[in-house]
Chains A and B, each alone.
Chain A
Amino acid sequence: MYRVGPRRSYRGHKPGATFEAFLDPNAERRARDRGDIQLLRRTTPVIQPGSYLLPSGWLNSKEEVQDNA
């Protein structure tokens, strides 16, 4: 998550706004060096256990494959 500096919009985000994005590391470094943006925190996308559903029948098909192996 980033905050845009006070002077100039950055990638369509107004000065002072916060935004979430995955920036190219070199582009991020240049923007931070210039003071265009400030890194607030770095987030890593994860899938929490129980926060997703498997496709219908997916578990049964996996068990069949294991049985055949």
Chain B
Amino acid sequence: MPKRIALTDGFEIDGVDFSDGQIRSVEFTSEDAQVDASGFNSTGTDEPLAGTRARSVTLEVFIKRDANETFQTLYPLHKNRSTFDFEWVADQNSGVSATNPALRGSVILPTWTNGATRGDVEVATLTFLSQGDDGLEFHAT
């Protein structure tokens, strides 16, 4: 596959399409806890085991306060402690496939932060945590 310049990423949060300029960055993290299972041995090497797995996706979202826009959609999801669906595809103009997989799953939004700086565009950095058995995973369909 060719390298790509990220321009046409698509997002759906709680079913709502946010693929029209509302989001400017995305970062998915999947991390296993490293459990030290090392014992004394002749070479002194470590033996880490993969422990519990935590997955999250962090977005930089432009705060727009119009009806059906980012603030009115996303803040209630945090306020009401909701569990909701999240989806990200690299190319919103192509169908979901093995070469354009969708990161999809149930998430929560446990932290809400947004502020403003004079002269700067208002952006909130929001981290969505994978939730339950249907948590974040890449899907080819």
Same complex for A and B? Answer: yes
**Residues of A participating in the B interface, judged by any CB pair closer than 8 Å:** 5, 7-12, 23, 26-27, 30-31, 34-36
Residues of B within 8 A of A34 (CB): 16, 67-68, 72-73, 76
Q: B84 and A30: CB pair below 8 A?
A: yes
**Residues of B participating in the A interface, judged by any CB pair closer than 8 Å:** 12, 14-17, 67-68, 72-73, 76-77, 82-85
Closest 5 CB pairs of A and B: A9-B17, A11-B15, A7-B68, A8-B68, A10-B15
Query: 28 pairs across A/B with beta carbons < 8 Å?
Result: A7-B67, A7-B68, A8-B16, A8-B17, A9-B16, A9-B17, A10-B15, A10-B17, A11-B12, A11-B15, A12-B17, A23-B15, A26-B82, A26-B83, A27-B14, A27-B15, A27-B84, A30-B14, A30-B77, A30-B84, A34-B16, A34-B67, A34-B68, A34-B72, A34-B73, A34-B76, A35-B67, A36-B16
A5–B15 CA distance with the chains assembled, in angstroms: 12
Residues of B within 8 A of A5 (CB): 68
Q: Which of B15, B68, B85 has the most CB of A within 10 A?
A: B15
Residues of B within 8 A of A23 (CB): 15
Residues of A within 8 A of B17 (CB): 8-10, 12
Q: What is the chain A residue whose CB lies nearest that of B66? A: A7
Residues of B within 8 A of A9 (CB): 16-17
A26–B16 CA distance with the chains assembled, in angstroms: 14
Q: What is the chain A residue whose CB lies nearest that of B76? A: A30
Residues of A within 8 A of B82 (CB): 26, 30
Residues of B within 8 A of A11 (CB): 12, 15
Residues of B within 8 A of A30 (CB): 14, 76-77, 82, 84
